[in-house]
Structure 1
Amino acid sequence: MQAREFMVEALIVVPDRSVRELAELLLREGSDGACVVENGKLIGVVTTMDLVFQEKKVHLPSFLSIMDFTIPLEPPDRLRSELDKIAGTKVRALMSGDPITVGPETSSDEIATKMVEEHITILPVVEGGRVLGMITKQALLQAVFKR
């Protein structure tokens, strides 16, 4: 079965949409995510997990102290990135950029493999740079088990 046969209509949001509006849209539509489009081009995806991320506890970095030296045990940009995402008020701050996509002829087993291996919630279906739809876990399950 090919993606075009079971993809669902893509929810499209702009990067400057507020996080509150995004949450309201996803709840109203019962969707796990949306495609972020700017100037007609897919620039990212945003999911319910990105919204849940905003509620998590901040992970403080670990340090190793030896004599008078302090050595960070994690990349210093990780904390900044995490804080930016938690404090984000616009979709742009939450979205995952450079999304993994599939074409309309991609098979269901290829899609399942990508979703599992890459931990993907939604998978945009793109052709010629245009978003045609998206694959959700629910759409994939329905396609596979309704054969």
Structure 2
Amino acid sequence: MKAREFMTREVISVPPDMPIQEVAQLLTERSISGVPVIGPVGLMGIITEGDLVDRVKKIHLPTLVTILDVVIPIAGERRYEDELRKMAGSTAADIMTSEVVVADEEMELADVATLISEEKVALLPVLRGDEVVGIIGKRDIIRAMLADK
């Protein structure tokens, strides 16, 4: 079964300048787990419930080592910066994940499931060229599995 056969075709998206409060309200009202962020140049990023939850969680401070008065980050500096950015952000562009894992509408069900599992993503925008034509979540994969039987 191809992605185009089980993807959700009605893609609800948000512009990069949408306030975060409105994004949260949209997810709640529409009972969806995330939205692509689409700007003038196309797909810019994706926001999931996890990105919104990250705004209120405790920050993990990076591990630092001081050697001869030089502070050296051991690990987690990038993660710390991302967490701060999301907590301080006010628009969709501020909290979105910009490195988006995407699917092609011709991908097979097993390949889509593998991609979602291995990349640890909740949602997968489906592209035709540069255009977002659908979105696939874990629930779509489960429905496709049931329909395929």
TM-score (norm 1): 0.91
Distance 1:102 1:22 in 2: 23
Distance 1:66 1:105 in 2: 53
Q: Which runs of 5+ in 1 are unaligned?
A: none
The one-character-per-residue Cα deviations of 1:76-97 (angstroms, maximum 9, x if unpaired) are 4443332111111111011111
Map residues 1-147 of structure 1 onto 2, 5 A cutoff: 1-8=1-8, 9-39=10-40, 41-66=42-67, 68-74=69-75, 76-147=77-148
Aligned length: 147
Distance 1:65 1:85 in 2: 28
The one-character-per-residue Cα deviations of 1:11-68 (angstroms, maximum 9, x if unpaired) are 1111110111000001111111111100151111110000011111011122224564
Which secondary structure state, in structure 2, belongs to the residue aligned with residue 73 of structure 1? strand
Quick one: structure 1 residues 63 and 126, their matched pair in 2 at CA, closer, same or farther if it must change by over 3 Å?
same
Distance 2:25 2:97 in 1: 19
Counting aligned pairs with the same residue, the percent is 35
Letter in 2 for 1:34: V
Distance 1:96 1:104 in 2: 21
Distance 1:135 1:42 in 2: 15
Aligned-CA RMSD value: 1.7
Distance 1:68 1:3 in 2: 55
- 8 Å contact from structure 1 (residues 40, 130) kept in 2: no
Distance 2:84 2:19 in 1: 17
- 8 Å contact from structure 1 (residues 7, 133) kept in 2: yes
TM-score (norm 2): 0.90
- 8 Å contact from structure 1 (residues 11, 34) kept in 2: yes
- 8 Å contact from structure 1 (residues 84, 93) kept in 2: yes
The one-character-per-residue Cα deviations of 1:76-121 (angstroms, maximum 9, x if unpaired) are 4443332111111111011111312111111110000000000011
- 8 Å contact from structure 1 (residues 61, 74) kept in 2: yes
Quick one: structure 1 residues 67 and 100, their matched pair in 2 at CA, closer, same or farther if it must change by over 3 Å?
closer
